[in-house]
Amino acid sequence: MKLTILGCYSATPRAFTNPTSQVLDIRGNLFLIDCGEGTQVQLRRFKVKFSRIKNIFISHLHGDHFYGLIGLISTFRLLGREAPLHIYGPKGIQEAIELLLKLGNSYGGYELIFHELTNKSSELIYEDDKVTVHTIPLEHRVYTNGFLFKEKLGERKLDINAVLNYDIEQCYYRNIKLGKDVPNKAGKVIANNLLSLDPEPPKSYAFCSDTAYTEKIVPIITNASVLYHESTFLEEHEHLCQKTKHSTAKQAATIAKQARVGKLILGHYSTRYDNIECFKKEAQTVFSDVYLADDGKEFNFS
């Protein structure tokens, strides 16, 4: 997995910061998560091959999380896209996008497939041969979901020395990777665990933005490899969280600790703060393995 942060600041764009959007690369499959204003410019700036994006996940219908979507959809049409585009987001997203396309006479060229979400419980919304995606119901001012991306268990690894020692023909290598017992040249069946190694443990990524502090998400994201959790405010402004339904860096770290995640990435910073390092320092009082999202930053989950 590789995560590219296109934007990670709250509310209004600025000349040097962008609202929420990120690209998650899972074994070559690109998923766009949220699409704030300016997303397509950021995709070009950081040389993301966005023609490979087949699925877009929108957490909620606040402008700093989806106002860039209509521009990206229109650009795909201008570039001659033919592949279908799947969009997962709250009920109402189809109406909003189709109205703008209709008024601009811009519909056509490729198929838009909307998957509108209304469930307030976690549910499976996407699955292919490499990954599953479940919703993470969040606590915000409007209906909002985070998303949990989980790799499926990969193929077993060929232990080439063991294979040669047991005199296994090459035509059986594929079956070994699939976990099957195979015969050697003498016809004796050799157990798979003698010929192969366990695959890499599957990785998972939990995206949680925007939300007030809620422990309801902990069972859903427990043991996630990486958690991205919003940290709009510092503890000194915790009183603003109740009104805005956002979290502090310390609260994000508390969720990470309770869920026993591997790493915590902070983002969605309020632009009232001049230095985002203070978010990391606050979070590390609770949870040690903390990283700061920033526009253009990449994280490799190795």
CA distance 230 to 249: 8
Asked if 21 and 68 count as a contact pair (C-beta separation under 8 A), the reply is: yes
Residue 62 assigned as binding residue: yes
**Identity of the residue numbered 137:** P
Helices (H), 148-276: 160-165, 173-177, 218-221, 241-244, 249-259
Residue 128 assigned as binding residue: no
Residue with tokens 């995640």: 261
Contacts of 92 (CB under 8 A, 6+ apart): 61, 116
Residue 65 assigned as binding residue: yes
Residue 115 assigned as binding residue: no
Per the annotation, the verdict on 64 as an active-site residue is yes
CA 35-265-216 angle, to 5 degrees, is 85
Residue 64 assigned as binding residue: yes
Is residue 95 within a helix (H) or strand (E), and if so which, with residue range?
helix 93-103
CA distance 70 to 83: 17
Write the CA distances from 141 to 10, 16, 241, 257, integer angstroms.
Answer: 14, 27, 11, 25
Q: Which of 64, 159, 167, 181 is catalytic?
A: 64
Asked if 245 and 139 count as a contact pair (C-beta separation under 8 A), the reply is: yes
Residue 140 assigned as binding residue: yes
Residue 268 assigned as binding residue: yes
Is residue 290 within a helix (H) or strand (E), and if so which, with residue range?
strand 290-292
Question: What residues are designated binding site for Zn(2+)?
Answer: 60, 62, 64-65, 140, 210, 268
Residue ranges of the binding site: 60, 62, 64-65, 140, 210, 268
Annotated catalytic residues are 64
